Amino acid sequence: MTGNMKSRLHSFNIFLLTLLAVVTGGCQAMHMGGLDMSQEYSTLRIYLESAKGGSSGGNMVLVTRAKIPMYVNPEPFLTEDDLAKATLVDNADGTYDIRVQFNDHGALVLDMNTSSSPGRSLIIFSQWPPRGWSEPKNQKEADAQKTAEADPAKPRAKGWLSAVLIRKGMTEGSFQFTPDASRQEAERIVRGLNNMVKTINKD
């Protein structure tokens, strides 16, 4: 990784998105300080399934709304900072996928991690807060936000969307997955990811 890329990653992580809690009981804190939240933004976190479950330092998360327990490595190896483009793909059977295309750095990292990990899975997490979302200013607001997020009657703003089995190295710098999300949610996630790419590239 070049010095310029390291600097860009560092400044982006400080200015845009930092996850304070990485995969703790399937819950992650959402922090978007510095973003103009009048726009739609989404995050992307791609984790590698932990090779030996919890014994290797992995954390258990509940993937999709079916709450399938899986162990993941503590840190994501790809994020929206590695993304070049997101696309909603309509399949012939009426289903839809999200296709993620990575930049040069992301493509290299994807190839390296998948080529060395056949038989394991990529676990995808995303956040897509509503326009006007703001970080809680105190514990009372944080508790209220957490309660609202847990309410099944309210629109979701984050989720463990999918697990993709690695059959061989992903050498083309992209892959697609079927998200555990409504079409409206999937469209919103894709729009937010592309807005994030524009913001990152402008920084």
| pLDDT tens column, 164-173 | 999 999 999 9
Identify the residue with better confidence: 32 or 129.
129
Phi, psi of 17 (to 5 degrees): -130, 130
CATH number for the domain harbouring residue 169:
3.30.1360.200
> 8-12, 22-26, 145-149, 173-177: which has the highest mean pLDDT?
173-177
Residue 32 — very low, low, confident or very high, per pLDDT cuts 50/70/90? low
Q: What residue type is 28 in one-letter code?
A: Q
Q: Domain total for the chain?
A: 1
What does the block give as tokens for 148?
A: 């609202």
Length of the chain: 203
pLDDT over 60 (residue 68): yes
Identify the residue with better confidence: 28 or 92.
92
pLDDT over 80 (residue 22): no
Q: Closest by alpha carbon to 86, among 106, 67, 58, 72? A: 106
pLDDT over 80 (residue 6): no
- The secondary structure element, H or E, covering residue 34 is none
Mean pLDDT of 48-57: 69
71: containing domain: 3-25+33-202
